Structure 1
Amino acid sequence: MAYDFITILGPTASGKTVLAVSLAKAIDAEIISGDSRQVYRGMDLGTGKDLDDYVVDGYHVPYHLIDIVDPGYKYNVFEFQRDFLNAFEDIRNRDKKVILCGGTGMYIESVLKGYRLIPVPENKELRESLSSKSLDELTDILSRYKKLHNSTDVDTVKRAIRAIEIEEYYLSNDVDERPFPNYNSLIIGVDISRELRREKISRRLRQRLDEGMVDEVRRLLDSGISAEDLIYYGLEYKYLTLYVTGELSYDDMCSQLEIAIHQFAKRQMTWFRGMERRGISISWINAEWSLQHKIDVVLGLLDNHVG
């Protein structure tokens, strides 16, 4: 059976986007982003969109699910599944191949495993009961649930509470699940050593700060996005907002943010390894290989499957 699409996943700073774009040019494919924050317009440096990477030798590789909603909106995995299906069908109807590329494990797994998801309403009583708990306590509560496909990469209290809210809804409600296609995907993971990953994360953070990431957050706040909403998005937007609003010094912001990104990348890898334990086969390639060698390896895997 031929592959329906190629998936390229990996932690932040692993080089997965550059690989996906170069591969897309080689096989006449379009890219669907599997990143939970790159959907937001105007949130560019903080989410690492690197849209220049989508241009190879003057050719603009088409991409989907980037810049599709306004900041302040709470985009979710249910909407991602819907939007993925629409983009996938659009691309395939034009006889192009599809590459899903990203680092949001929950989004990617929801497509690869075809999870049946429904929108979950807000539970105010539950939220109030959890509001005084720490992130560690919330993470512990979340870990007690067994529906792993609904858990989430939590880096803020608000995200953790939402993840628990989703789990609790599924436990206490009979829901009609919506159908989702069973796709067959070649899944490529970009494996980067801890040392190189840390080095690239630190270098990229300094570069994005130099490019104006603080000004980006100021513009978002000035446009009417609340500080609470920006903090909800976590990582760069959490710590830069705390700096801009005077709650953190610049040096504290930089050091705390750097630590948080390193921890986030570690959690991403933990999720991907968990995907393997849940029956998803990932072919890992070395981040330090040359770009051409990576492409050749992926093309070889495609040929072997067809053969």
Structure 2
Amino acid sequence: MSSRATTPEDRLSDVFGAMDENSPENSPAAPPRPDKRSHSSVDPASDDEDVQAPPVQVSSILAQNVVLAAKGHGERKRLKPDQLAAVETFLNNPSALREAKIMISIMALENQIDKIVTATAPYQVSADTEKNIKNFAVAVLLSSKCRTYKGQNAIKLVLDLVKLYRGDLAPGVEFNPADWGKVMVCAGDALTQVRSKFKKLIIYSLKPHDTKGPNNAAPADQLNIFQLSEAFVDGTRCSVNVPLCARIALMRKVYLQEPGSKFWDFVDKDLAKIRKRADGDNKKIARAFRHILEADQAKHGSKDYELDNETVDLFQQQVDDLIDAGAADASSIV
């Protein structure tokens, strides 16, 4: 009878058994040899490799170098001897004390700054800035693009010119409400003075020039629009042109009906009515002002002049552009 065939596992069963018997997990630990010393039994003094030299103390050397470097820097910055001594003391202090000293020094510096600020004289608008503001006020009110002659709009335009050209305006003054308020007051006063001057010129244009009576002169003896406009621009950088004459003609037209204290309010109202009626149509606005100008030419003085439709001073053109950019007002195009 033949023997049973063995499988690969059967053939290796003894090998696997031997492997299991000799595995490290099942093998007992080898007993220590009596002739071999343990590491713990070795005398450290007898083994040069286990001996460590004491660390070199460098902290004091570094501290001395820092002090010397700091004092040298202080000398280059020309500190006084007592200040150099204070620096050395500071560096030798504990860190907590150094931080406290820094905090104290900052507070002391703030106290000194407060004294300086308190002692500073209140801001005043300089004579040069005031002169510039007056020139800007004239330029705004002589602009054929001016939207209103009274109110905040005119003041804002003057202030925009002040900030644009500045002159000797103190740096950052516009960010100080109290100081900038003084500039605003100056701008408002300048506009009031210019409006008063213009109104007086309109009155003068209607009166007999050889008397001071209450009645107006005969139309032929009154100033024509060119003469009146020349009086408006006298002493300024502005020039007489058709758009300006049309604006002044509107002023004279309003004055003949509303000569009282509300004169400029009625001028602004008429400008607003023209813009509203035109509804953004520049051609309608142009026709309105052309009609006003032609009516004035026919009513006041003799028409012995020719008006320039294009002559505009460069500065006045910049003012007109500024107004256009801010308000997009075409109410005075002629």
The TM-score, its normalising length taken from structure 1, stands at: 0.24
The structure with the larger Rg is: 2
TM-score by length of 2: 0.22
